[in-house]
Amino acid sequence: MVSNYIITVDLRCQQGLRCLDGLPMDIGNTVGRVVFDHKFLAHPAQTAYTDWNESGRDNAPNGSLMRTTPIGVICMRKSEEETFEEAIKMGAVTHADPRCSVSVAIVPALVRALCRGEIASVCETDAVVERGWGYVLKAHPELSLSRAEFEKHAYAESLEGLTLCDFGMGYVYKCLGSALWCLRQVQTGKETFQSAMVKLIMFGGDADTNGAVAGALMGAFCGYTDLPEEWKCGMRNEEWYRGKISALCVVAGLVEGSYNAQQDTDTEPDGGRGFLTKNEMKRRKKQMMQKAL
């Protein structure tokens, strides 16, 4: 799984999502430095570690957390510990900081448990959070983590306390903490999926990433039928997404059905559209910027 994933990450950064003709936009600084390093494809985790080490060992952005939430669905038929480890491996491809490791262990495990119907209360959510923390400390004793820093964010009582809109808005613990806050609010009936999401987005900061992770947790808890109708029906490429979700459920063994990967050109490296040349990429990006301005 990891080897194919590495190639996919590289292609997304180089070419974008070709099957939907999407350009490689909004690539984070950490992901960009790591993926565009000439050693990435051969040694991704080591390249990520070297970048983190040379950056002062204090760089913990949220990119890997947003990217690994689907691991919770992919690992639904696996154990919680297998989910922890699979997510950590996926995250380590680009993010080496231990705070990223513990965050990517927790969120996919929560997605898995929520989808399996194993979690209904805040206490049960907190138990998974603690097992994720404990697993990382036990399985990876070489990682150094501050418990106080973790608790400050993972158990934040308000979004205000997370200071989401500041210079450090891309900090992984801010993303983790805001997602957990949203989930707990929905679990206790204080907020709905929509109201919690709107509040989170209105706090600004790295709102798209925060919303993606919070949406994964709240969505896994609420279920598709309880999502706002106007958000479901108004989504771009809705039919395409539905097809991919159905295919994933079949491949993951969650539902009966068949899926022929050879007939799905979307999964080809070029998305069935061919690769863009450097000149084509420059022209397309220029057109996008002109349209935005």
pLDDT band at 180 (very low <50, low <70, confident <90, very high): very high
- pTM recorded for the entire structure: 0.94
Task: Give the Cα separation of 102 and 109 in Å (integer).
Answer: 11
Backbone angles phi, psi at 17, to 5 degrees: -95, 90
Tokens representing residue 218 in the block: 């709240």
* Residue 94 binned pLDDT confidence (cut-offs 50, 70, 90): very high
Kindly state whether residue 210 falls inside one of the protein's structural domains: yes
Answer yes or no: is pLDDT of 276 > 90. yes
Q: Which domain holds residue 92?
A: 60-227
Residue 181, domain member (yes or no): yes
174 inside domain: yes
pLDDT above 90 as % of the chain: 89
Residue 239 in any domain: the answer is no
Q: What percent of the chain has pLDDT over 70?
A: 100
Residue 268 lies in a domain: no
Cα angle 4, 245, 127; round to 5: 85
How many CA atoms does the CB half-sphere of 286 hold within 13 Å? 6
Predicted local confidence at residue 291, as pLDDT: 85
Neighbours of 75 (CB within 10 A): 22
Question: Average pLDDT, whole number, for the chain?
Answer: 95
**Within a domain: residue 282?**
no
Between the two ends of the chain, the Cα-to-Cα distance in Å is 40
Domain for residue 284, yes or no? no
Mean pLDDT, rounded, for 279-289: 91
Q: For the chain, what is the domain count?
A: 1
178 domain residue, yes or no: yes
Convert the pLDDT of each residue in 100-151 to its tens digit. Answer: 999 999 999 999 999 999 999 999 999 999 999 999 999 888 888 999 999 9
Here the CATH number for the domain that contains residue 186 is 1.10.4080.10
* pLDDT for position 1: 65
The most distant pair of C-alpha atoms in the chain lies apart, rounded to whole Å, by 54
- CA proximity to 163, closest of 155, 154, 174: 174
Contacts for 145 with CB less than 8 Å, ≥ 6 apart: 98, 99, 102, 133, 136, 137
What is the rounded CA–CA span in Å between residue 76 and residue 208? 26
